[in-house]
Chains A and B, each alone.
Chain A
Amino acid sequence: MDYRNVLTTCIYCGAGCSLYLQVLDGKVVGVLPAKQHPISEGRLCIKGWNAHAFIHHEDRLTRPLIRDNGAFREASWDEALTLIADRLREVRATHGPDAIGFLTSAKCTNEENYLLQKFARVVIGTNNVDHCARL
């Protein structure tokens, strides 16, 4: 029996509540609040209490999907990223940079979110940046 708790930060918004992921025999099975944390003080909202739910969820995407003729097919990362780059270039050339918007994620680190907005503003040339915590 291997039971351990891993301290982490809730991935759902910018408040930064702290929680423990309960790991039983290598599988994340639940969440416990972290009582010592100066922000969350052992409390969580409904998102924090369920922050583990997507980890092993059967609907979770594990590979890129590309839509071909209305249906998704699995693709390699190289193929997916090349397609994204080509289409971004094409849309920007045809309709201008403000035809493109970027949605970042609370599931990423601060640094990753910084990179995405930098990419939007400097590489693409738009301020259309928003965040999943506002959706």
Chain B
Amino acid sequence: MTIPAKVKQLSETLWEIAPSYKAGMKVPARIVGTRNLLESMDDAVFDQLTNVATLPGIVGYAYCMPDGHSGYGFPIGGVAATDPARGGVISPGGIGFDINCGMRLIRTNLTLEEVAPRIKELIDTLFELVPSGVGSRGALKISKPQFLELVEQGSRWCVRHGYGWPEDLELTEEVGCIEGADAASISKKAIDRGFNQVGTLGSGNHYLEVQVVRPENVFDSSLAARFGLNVPNQVVVMFHCGSRGFGHQVATDYLRLFLSVMRKKYGIEMRDRELACAPLHSPEGTDYFAAMKCALNMAFANRQIILHHVRKAFSRVFSRSAEELGMHMIYDVSHNTAKLERHLIDDRALEVLVHRKGAPRAFARGMEDLPPRYKDLGQPVIIGGSMETGSYLLLGSSEGQETFFSTAHGSGRRMSRTKARKIWQGDKLLRELKHRGIYVRTASLRGLAEEAGGAYKDIDEVVEATTRAGLSKPVARFVPIGNVKG
């Protein structure tokens, strides 16, 4: 695809659409990426991003990250900050239905040589202990009252109940529990949908992968060593999932509520109903913020329970405790959120609400909220590639101010699911992957075909673009040897 004429190139990796392009745009829309990446973006990205630029109270720029593709409301990879003190809104469409969809990375002291002969048994055990697929549930048996505690306390609830290690909390964004979650703001339907889904992967592009760090894929060995990546061909575990049906229902509930009050009560008109919003400082905005935080916590807890089962699976297969296997977390990062943060806007420090939809935070060294042990390094960012190509550990950069310290979250789709299914067949792909040393278990062969590597952009190019744009820099690259595909 050619890049539309309205998109002007500002630098090698920065592009802009001026506010004059569309009525109601309050700020310019900016896209980070190389020419090649922009050419792979569908036109709807530019349309959706310029809609985002019309949000009441938006400041700076409406941003799209290099892995961006069209979504609903915001494009995936969309980042936008609003100023609540000046009527700035909160929009569920700027966060996504899968609130706090995110990535978690765990290291082990095992090597490829030790794991490869047992990979089938290991992946089969993970497949058994971590439920995946349509409506998956049952990994953690809790009552609804317990679930209400869990959504207010996040990973803390899990660790207190024996599902994890105290250090896991420090290594999770928001220490695994965001302040201000209020269970009074969530519906019965949300509870019904979520209370039996804690510890489950879901489906679509959600997965759990066993990966290897080959020596040639370590970009900075002293940095990598700070994350405990210091053995050639070391094995790590990475997984991708969110707040399951609970978060989906919270987003749906408030999308409907905002739609009913947006125009009538607040006089806001949006071009896309999916961008329904309300001022953060309004009863509806405040309630959604508190409910969304419950979903953030539910996702942290979800990944914490999955981690517990991952440790159990490794322990079972290798007949050693998770402690003996050195299964420490590297980090847990969210890429579907809205958070109040302080940023420099026109040289003034302002508290703004940063929406990130398909974009992780990538704080620079020294910034608040970083785990003490990473304070001098910067925030670890985990980027999941396609099942076939590989994934990355990056670090936030001090040049990332303009994007509110955000970066890419994955390789980003370049092909629709239906098109992918016409090109690849699940069973054939499964065999091909096995032949290439990647053992896959999946709840859905059709879904597997939709997630084929060729349906995604080139992860290396996405990471390179974030580096050149000064948003993040790579520490290590991981290649898969086993995958549980949801």
Decide if A and B are genuine partners.
no
